[in-house]
């Protein structure tokens, strides 16, 4: 049967309740019916890492609504940060003969086999936001993660000076984006005498690591000039540790995602910069591409990237640095509302 036009078996259970009236309504009989309904809509399985970080709900909502608008049905599964659960979800999608499987990989190294299995079953696979390594996915769509790191490095370098001291709290080491952000960040510092005095990793993106790394550093009676945070959720914890030491606003903190809390901190002066990634572009483009691929078309992409073994098509989107200066222009009314961002200060 043609993919994308397959017959989906839906069991419709209808319960018919009859009131048999002898005297009043003394007896009720139940009858149930199973019915097969045919759906020829394109079927997309979307396996997500988790919804703990603010952005992912937005990714899901935009993706689902665009895909539905284009006539597809989307089954969203949340792996809750567990690799084995993510693998089972993908296996379930393979069993259900989805047309396309879209994955936010928890661990870029652990999905090679299951992706190969999906591809052998004729299912298209899209790596969403995070690259899946050595798996020859049909498409990788993301923001330029190396550029995210470059922006963080350039903005910190400008503020802390050529001989400043910084510390870093990177994201999850199993997320390939972290490797790319690190590459871009280190490249941006090249040629300066900036000293990276401490580096931590938030396994599974556990933001509290940001609090611990910062507190431990400050406990040594040292104050960094800047702190690079893997994302804004980590920055929340870093700034909490700075606040407890009465240092909030005195250390340049950078992150990514333009979370509402980070945007608030930026206008309030306790975070210097965040990297905004317009999710609308990513999620809508991914949904359009998924639907096209389900129809057997290969959409045009901007470039390709090596996944360790194969060159895979890569749709590469531009991230944008946001500080107090361009907050209104870039974020307000587009990503967050003015009253949310300027909650505690005059806009």
When asked if residue 59 is in the footprint of ligand BGC (CB under 6 A), the reply is no
Task: Give min distance, CB of 258 to ligand BGC, in A.
Answer: 10
In DSSP terms, which residues pair with 273 in a beta bridge?
254
Q: Total number of residues binding ligand BGC (CB under 6 A)?
A: 11
In DSSP terms, which residues pair with 305 in a beta bridge?
312
Instruction: Output helix, strand, coil percentages for the chain, rounded to the nearest 5.
Output: 35, 25, 35
Span near ligand BGC by CB under 6 A; candidates 170-178, 182-190, 284-292, 318-326:
170-178
> Which one, 53 or 241, has the nearer CB to ligand BGC?
53
Which residues 247-266 are close enough to bind ligand BGC by CB under 6 A? Answer: 256-257
Span near ligand BGC by CB under 6 A; candidates 75-83, 84-92, 169-177, 215-223:
169-177
- Give the one residue of 128, 140, 205, 314 binding ligand BGC; rule: CB under 6 A: 205
Contact by Cβ (8 Å): 319, 147 = yes
Structure tokens at 156: 């910190």
| Gap between the Cα atoms of 251 and 298, Å rounded | 47
| Gap between the Cα atoms of 189 and 153, Å rounded | 6
Q: What is the x/- site pattern for ligand BGC, positions 229-248, by CB under 6 A?
A: --x-----------------
In DSSP terms, which residues pair with 254 in a beta bridge?
228, 273
> Which one, 213 or 294, has the nearer CB to ligand BGC?
213
Structure tokens at 230: 């893997």
Backbone φ and ψ of 331, nearest 5°: -105, -45
- DSSP string for residues in 284-295: HHHHHHHHHHHT
> Which one, 142 or 264, has the nearer CB to ligand BGC?
142
> Which one, 3 or 130, has the nearer CB to ligand BGC?
130
Residues 6+ positions from 297 with CB-CB distance below 8 Å: none
Nearest residue to ligand BGC, scored by beta-carbon proximity: 231
Contact by Cβ (8 Å): 201, 173 = yes
Contact by Cβ (8 Å): 18, 31 = yes
> Which one, 55 or 157, has the nearer CB to ligand BGC?
55
> Which one, 102 or 292, has the nearer CB to ligand BGC?
102
Contact by Cβ (8 Å): 242, 234 = no
Contact by Cβ (8 Å): 321, 272 = no
When asked if residue 53 is in the footprint of ligand BGC (CB under 6 A), the reply is yes
Task: Give min distance, CB of 50 to ligand BGC, in A.
Answer: 7
When asked if residue 60 is in the footprint of ligand BGC (CB under 6 A), the reply is no
Q: What is the x/- site pattern for ligand BGC, positions 125-164, by CB under 6 A?
A: ----xx----------------------------------
The binding site for ligand BGC (CB under 6 A) comprises 53, 55, 129-130, 171, 175, 177, 205, 231, 256-257
């Amino acid at each position: 049967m043609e993919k994308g036009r397959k017959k989906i078996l839906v069991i419709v259970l209808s319960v018919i309740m009859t009131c048999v009236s002898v005297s009043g309504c003394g007896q009720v009989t139940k009858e149930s019916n199973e019915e097969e309904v045919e759906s020829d809509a394109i079927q997309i399985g979307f396996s997500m890492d988790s919804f703990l970080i603010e952005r992912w709900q937005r990714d899901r909502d935009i993706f689902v609504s665009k895909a539905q608008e284009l006539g597809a049905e989307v089954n969203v599964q949340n792996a809750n940060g567990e690799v084995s659960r993510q693998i089972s979800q993908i296996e379930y999608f393979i069993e259900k003969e989805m047309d396309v499987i879209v994955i936010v990989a928890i661990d870029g190294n652990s999905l090679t086999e299951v992706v190969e299995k999906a591809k052998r079953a004729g299912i298209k696979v899209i790596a969403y936001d995070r690259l899946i390594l050595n798996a020859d996915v049909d498409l990788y769509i993301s923001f330029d993660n190396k550029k995210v790191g470059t922006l963080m490095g350039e903005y910190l370098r400008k503020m802390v000076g050529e001989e400043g001291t910084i510390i870093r709290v990177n994201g999850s080491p199993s997320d390939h984006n972290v490797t790319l952000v690190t590459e871009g960040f280190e490249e941006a510092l090249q040629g300066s005498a900036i000293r990276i005095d401490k580096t931590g990793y938030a396994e599974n993106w556990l933001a509290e690591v940001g609090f611990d790394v910062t507190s431990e550093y400050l406990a040594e009676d040292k104050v960094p000039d800047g702190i690079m945070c893997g994302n804004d959720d980590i920055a929340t914890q870093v700034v909490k540790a700075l606040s407890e030491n009465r240092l909030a606003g005195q250390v340049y903190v950078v992150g990514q995602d333009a979370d509402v809390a980070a945007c608030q901190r930026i206008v309030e002066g306790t975070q210097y910069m965040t990297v905004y990634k317009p999710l609308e572009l990513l999620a809508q483009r991914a949904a359009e591409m998924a639907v096209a691929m389900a129809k057997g078309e290969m959409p045009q992409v901007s470039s390709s990237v090596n996944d360790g073994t194969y060159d895979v098509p890569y749709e590469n989107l531009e991230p944008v640095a946001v500080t107090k200066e361009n907050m209104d222009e870039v974020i307000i009314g587009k990503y967050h509302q003015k009253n949310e961002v300027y909650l505690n200060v005059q806009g």
